[in-house]
Structure 1
Amino acid sequence: MTISEILRRYPETLPVFERHHLDCYDCQLADFEQLEHGATVHKIDVESLLCELNCNIKK
Protein backbone atom coordinates (compact mmCIF):
# COMPACT_ATOMS: atom_id res chain seq x y z
CA MET A 1 0.00 0.00 0.00
CA THR A 2 1.31 3.48 -0.73
CA ILE A 3 1.76 6.05 2.00
CA SER A 4 -1.00 8.19 0.44
CA GLU A 5 -3.42 5.26 0.42
CA ILE A 6 -2.78 4.58 4.08
CA LEU A 7 -3.35 8.21 5.02
CA ARG A 8 -6.50 8.51 2.91
CA ARG A 9 -8.04 5.37 4.40
CA TYR A 10 -6.71 5.88 7.91
CA PRO A 11 -6.02 9.57 8.59
CA GLU A 12 -5.55 8.73 12.26
CA THR A 13 -2.15 7.26 11.33
CA LEU A 14 -0.64 10.68 10.59
CA PRO A 15 0.84 11.04 14.11
CA VAL A 16 2.65 7.72 13.66
CA PHE A 17 4.30 8.97 10.47
CA GLU A 18 5.20 12.24 12.19
CA ARG A 19 6.65 10.44 15.23
CA HIS A 20 8.99 8.52 12.94
CA HIS A 21 9.90 11.66 10.98
CA LEU A 22 8.34 10.18 7.86
CA ASP A 23 7.19 13.37 6.23
CA CYS A 24 6.72 11.50 2.95
CA TYR A 25 3.01 12.24 3.24
CA ASP A 26 3.81 15.83 2.42
CA CYS A 27 5.75 15.11 -0.76
CA GLN A 28 4.71 14.05 -4.25
CA LEU A 29 6.25 10.61 -3.85
CA ALA A 30 3.61 9.59 -1.31
CA ASP A 31 1.27 8.70 -4.17
CA PHE A 32 3.81 6.21 -5.53
CA GLU A 33 5.97 5.19 -2.59
CA GLN A 34 5.13 1.94 -0.87
CA LEU A 35 5.29 1.98 2.93
CA GLU A 36 8.11 -0.56 3.00
CA HIS A 37 10.27 1.52 0.67
CA GLY A 38 9.71 4.71 2.65
CA ALA A 39 10.58 2.99 5.91
CA THR A 40 13.70 1.41 4.43
CA VAL A 41 14.93 4.70 2.99
CA HIS A 42 14.52 6.35 6.40
CA LYS A 43 16.08 3.35 8.20
CA ILE A 44 12.92 2.52 10.14
CA ASP A 45 12.08 -1.05 11.07
CA VAL A 46 9.13 -1.95 8.84
CA GLU A 47 7.63 -4.50 11.24
CA SER A 48 7.65 -2.05 14.14
CA LEU A 49 6.14 0.67 11.98
CA LEU A 50 3.39 -1.67 10.76
CA CYS A 51 2.62 -2.72 14.31
CA GLU A 52 2.35 0.87 15.45
CA LEU A 53 0.19 1.85 12.47
CA ASN A 54 -2.14 -1.11 13.06
CA CYS A 55 -2.45 -0.31 16.75
CA ASN A 56 -3.28 3.28 15.93
CA ILE A 57 -5.97 2.17 13.46
CA LYS A 58 -7.61 -0.14 16.01
CA LYS A 59 -8.05 2.70 18.51
Structure 2
Amino acid sequence: MGNEILITKKMSTGEVTKKYPATKAVFTKYFGKGCFDCPSFGTEDINLACMMHNTDVDKFVKELNEAAKQEASKTS
Protein backbone atom coordinates (compact mmCIF):
# COMPACT_ATOMS: atom_id res chain seq x y z
CA MET A 1 0.00 0.00 0.00
CA GLY A 2 1.09 3.60 -0.45
CA ASN A 3 2.26 3.28 -4.06
CA GLU A 4 -1.09 2.36 -5.60
CA ILE A 5 -2.32 4.59 -8.39
CA LEU A 6 -5.31 6.59 -7.25
CA ILE A 7 -5.81 8.72 -10.36
CA THR A 8 -5.40 7.84 -14.04
CA LYS A 9 -5.54 9.95 -17.19
CA LYS A 10 -8.80 8.24 -18.18
CA MET A 11 -10.67 9.58 -15.14
CA SER A 12 -12.85 12.66 -15.56
CA THR A 13 -11.77 15.98 -14.13
CA GLY A 14 -14.94 16.16 -12.05
CA GLU A 15 -14.51 12.66 -10.67
CA VAL A 16 -10.99 13.47 -9.52
CA THR A 17 -11.74 16.81 -7.85
CA LYS A 18 -14.85 15.42 -6.15
CA LYS A 19 -13.04 12.39 -4.74
CA TYR A 20 -9.78 14.23 -3.98
CA PRO A 21 -10.45 17.97 -3.33
CA ALA A 22 -6.73 18.65 -2.76
CA THR A 23 -6.15 18.09 -6.48
CA LYS A 24 -7.87 21.39 -7.27
CA ALA A 25 -4.56 23.11 -6.52
CA VAL A 26 -2.86 21.08 -9.27
CA PHE A 27 -5.60 21.94 -11.78
CA THR A 28 -5.21 25.62 -10.89
CA LYS A 29 -1.41 25.44 -11.16
CA TYR A 30 -1.53 24.09 -14.71
CA PHE A 31 -4.82 25.37 -16.13
CA GLY A 32 -5.51 28.57 -14.18
CA LYS A 33 -8.31 29.60 -11.84
CA GLY A 34 -10.82 29.78 -14.70
CA CYS A 35 -10.51 26.03 -15.15
CA PHE A 36 -13.48 25.35 -12.89
CA ASP A 37 -15.73 27.77 -14.82
CA CYS A 38 -15.09 26.02 -18.14
CA PRO A 39 -18.20 24.24 -19.50
CA SER A 40 -16.10 21.13 -20.21
CA PHE A 41 -14.74 20.86 -16.69
CA GLY A 42 -16.13 17.87 -14.89
CA THR A 43 -16.99 15.84 -17.96
CA GLU A 44 -13.74 15.68 -19.92
CA ASP A 45 -11.08 13.16 -19.03
CA ILE A 46 -7.70 14.24 -17.74
CA ASN A 47 -5.96 13.20 -20.96
CA LEU A 48 -8.17 15.53 -23.04
CA ALA A 49 -7.79 18.39 -20.57
CA CYS A 50 -4.01 18.07 -20.78
CA MET A 51 -4.10 17.96 -24.58
CA MET A 52 -6.26 21.11 -24.66
CA HIS A 53 -3.81 22.91 -22.36
CA ASN A 54 -0.62 21.53 -23.94
CA THR A 55 0.35 19.90 -20.63
CA ASP A 56 2.40 16.74 -20.10
CA VAL A 57 -0.28 14.28 -18.97
CA ASP A 58 2.12 11.93 -17.16
CA LYS A 59 3.63 14.76 -15.11
CA PHE A 60 0.15 16.15 -14.40
CA VAL A 61 -1.24 12.78 -13.26
CA LYS A 62 1.82 12.24 -11.07
CA GLU A 63 1.19 15.56 -9.31
CA LEU A 64 -2.52 14.77 -8.94
CA ASN A 65 -1.63 11.49 -7.25
CA GLU A 66 0.87 13.19 -4.95
CA ALA A 67 -1.79 15.71 -3.88
CA ALA A 68 -4.36 12.94 -3.34
CA LYS A 69 -1.93 10.85 -1.30
CA GLN A 70 -0.99 13.83 0.88
CA GLU A 71 -4.67 14.52 1.47
CA ALA A 72 -5.31 10.87 2.35
CA SER A 73 -2.40 10.78 4.80
CA LYS A 74 -3.80 13.77 6.68
CA THR A 75 -7.15 12.08 7.19
CA SER A 76 -5.83 8.67 8.25
Per the normalisation by structure 1, the TM-score is: 0.87
Counterpart residue number, 2:55: 44
Q: Which has the larger radius of gyration?
A: 2
5+ residue gaps in structure 2?
A: 1-10, 71-76
Give aligned pairs, total.
59
- More helix by percentage: 1
Counterpart residue number, 1:12: 22
- 1:21-43 CA distances to partner (integer Å, 9 max, x unpaired)? 25433222123211100001100
5+ residue gaps in structure 1?
A: none
Runs of 4+ aligned residues of structure 1 deviating over 4 Å after TM superposition are none
RMSD: 1.3
Q: Secondary structure at the match of 1:28?
A: coil
